[in-house]
Amino acid sequence: MRRNRNLVSLVVAFIFVFTLFVYPFTAGASSYAYNFSAGSRTFTDTLGKAYSMPNVPVVKNGVFFVPLRAVVESAGGSVLYIPKTRAVKLSYGKNKGYLLIGRKYATVNGKLFPMKQRSFLERNHTMIDVRYIAALFAGSASVTGEQCSLTFYKIFIGKDALKNEVVLYSEPKRIVSLAPNLTEILFAIGAGSRVVGVSNYSDYPKAALEKPKVGGFFNPSIEKIFALNPDLVLVARGTPFSVINKLKSLHIQVFTSDPHTIKDIYNLILTVGKLTGNVKESLQVVQKMRSIESSIVAKVSKIPLSKRKKVYVEIWNSPKMSVGKGTFIDALIKEAGGVNIAENAKGSWPIMSDEAIIKANPDVIVVLYKGSVDAIKNRPGWSNITAVKNNAIYVLNPDIFERPGPRIVQGLEKLYEIMYGKNGG
């Protein structure tokens, strides 16, 4: 009998240690965090947003206490206090918690969570061990002295480009991307391992080529997507509504994007970071992109308008098709210090005549398809164009100009370089 009691004691002790030190620290790939300092009523998140609390966090016997309601509600959860029984009911997405004020235990989804120090009321606000909130959030808590970081997946509630509401209560573990730029973003922010399917033209980075293909931009296979059992499908504006509606009818979460400017691309990368839980990584990608853009903009600001190069971009040769207002490439030309000769042409993708191009006399010609420099030089009447005379004709990778993703700033850098040199201006 004594042996059995000892065994039970050991099992209870093991469960206690496991639930106290392991369960609260179990987390997925999230990099969204709240950062607390003992004695400060303000805490910040990964993006630098500040939140306020009614009470300051305190450290008691090595346990970091925070105001329960302020933290849970700031993350999108709910707190219901029942004064008669001094009970608190909690919810965070699909996770449910329950505790009694002053007790040394609580539950999350029915699982016992023993606490080293009891919860307590201070100025009518419940103070709780931050590790309990980590358990409720299915995240992790890291305490170093007077500092604490709470990492978790923050519930995503937002509208996409089609104004459809998208709600995610947990990190998507299986993601399908139906656009090459979205595939690039997912890999750039560290979510590539969770990509289980991509569109046919998702060819960057190389790891994307190894992912199962689910069809083209306009005609993806619903059957293939459904078979991959995705938690989230990312699509670009232009994917047929019939495809989007069918996926939604199968209870698959769909998020549609439609960026038009570099700023939109930054916002899209951050949004995908929020959707996947890779907020920190997405912020790092955007900060790096902004740094490159700011450097180019600073250099361009020193170039007088009268000395800025005229640029002709050809995205197809039969007929000769260029880029007009409202396109990424037009914005890149301007930001790189160039003047787009097709800026005032009709439409976003205007057809250009030889006469109009020769008359505009561009200083630089950029070809965004598998063209030939010699073929352009030998076009009738083009020999007097400044770009042809100076051999300023460049056949470039269209993806860094046309895909609204992380490599768009490479296109910006390249345009500046071919116009003014790496250090020119």
- Give the whole-angstrom CA distance, residue 124 versus residue 126: 7
* CA neighbor of 402 nearest in space, from 313, 294, 310, 335: 313
Average pLDDT, the chain: 91
Model pLDDT, residue 217: 84
Give the whole-number percent of the chain exceeding pLDDT 90.
88
Stretch 346-368: mean pLDDT, rounded? 96
Stretch 66-89: mean pLDDT, rounded? 95
Q: Which residue has the tokens 């500040």?
A: 50
Model pLDDT, residue 18: 36
- Give the whole-angstrom CA distance, residue 156 versus residue 142: 23
Phi then psi for residue 106, to 5 deg, are -155, 180
- Give the whole-angstrom CA distance, residue 309 versus residue 322: 17
213-258 confidence digits (pLDDT tens)? 999 888 999 999 999 999 999 999 989 999 999 999 999 999 999 9
Residue 206's Cβ-count burial label (10 Å; 0-12, 13-18, 19+) is: exposed
Identity of residue 41: R
Q: What are 226's two structure tokens?
A: 């459904």
Judge whether 57 and 51 are in contact, CB under 8 Å. Answer: no
Model pLDDT, residue 326: 82
- Give the whole-angstrom CA distance, residue 306 versus residue 240: 45
* CA neighbor of 150 nearest in space, from 226, 68, 264: 68
Model pLDDT, residue 29: 56
Judge whether 57 and 40 are in contact, CB under 8 Å. Answer: yes
Strands 165-168 and 58-60: unpaired
Please say if the pLDDT value at position 191 is more than 80: yes
Model pLDDT, residue 249: 96
* CA neighbor of 366 nearest in space, from 404, 403, 321, 302: 321
Judge whether 289 and 322 are in contact, CB under 8 Å. Answer: no
115-163 confidence digits (pLDDT tens)? 989 999 999 899 999 999 999 999 999 999 999 999 999 999 999 999 9
Please say if the pLDDT value at position 4 is more than 70: no
The pTM for the full model equals 0.87
Judge whether 210 and 248 are in contact, CB under 8 Å. Answer: no
Model pLDDT, residue 106: 95
Element (H, E) at 369: none
Q: Is the C-alpha dihedral spanning 77, 172, 265, 220 positive or negative?
A: negative
- Give the whole-angstrom CA distance, residue 38 versus residue 67: 11
Q: Provide Rg for the chain, Cα atoms.
A: 28
Identity of residue 243: V
Model pLDDT, residue 424: 67
Q: Is cis: bond before 205, omega within 30 of 0?
A: yes
Judge whether 197 and 212 are in contact, CB under 8 Å. Answer: yes
3-state class of 218 per DSSP? Answer: coil
Stretch 35-48: mean pLDDT, rounded? 96
Identity of residue 178: L
Enter the DSSP assignment of 54. S
Phi then psi for residue 317, to 5 deg, are -110, -10
3-state class of 186 per DSSP? Answer: helix
Confidence of residue 5 (pLDDT cuts 50, 70, 90): very low
- Give the whole-angstrom CA distance, residue 325 versus residue 357: 17
Q: What are 41's two structure tokens?
A: 């009523």
Please say if the pLDDT value at position 377 is more than 70: yes
Terminal Cα-to-Cα distance of the chain (whole angstroms): 88
- Give the whole-angstrom CA distance, residue 239 versus residue 220: 9
Q: What angle do CA 215, 216, 222 make, to 5 degrees?
A: 45
Model pLDDT, residue 108: 96
Model pLDDT, residue 140: 95
Stretch 188-211: mean pLDDT, rounded? 97
Residue 165's Cβ-count burial label (10 Å; 0-12, 13-18, 19+) is: exposed
Stretch 188-199: mean pLDDT, rounded? 97
Give the whole-number percent of the chain exceeding pLDDT 70.
92
Domains for the chain: give ranges and CATH numbers.
Answer: 17-152 (3.30.457.10), 156-288 (3.40.50.1980), 303-420 (3.40.50.1980)
Please say if the pLDDT value at position 425 is more than 60: no
Q: What are 52's two structure tokens?
A: 């306020």
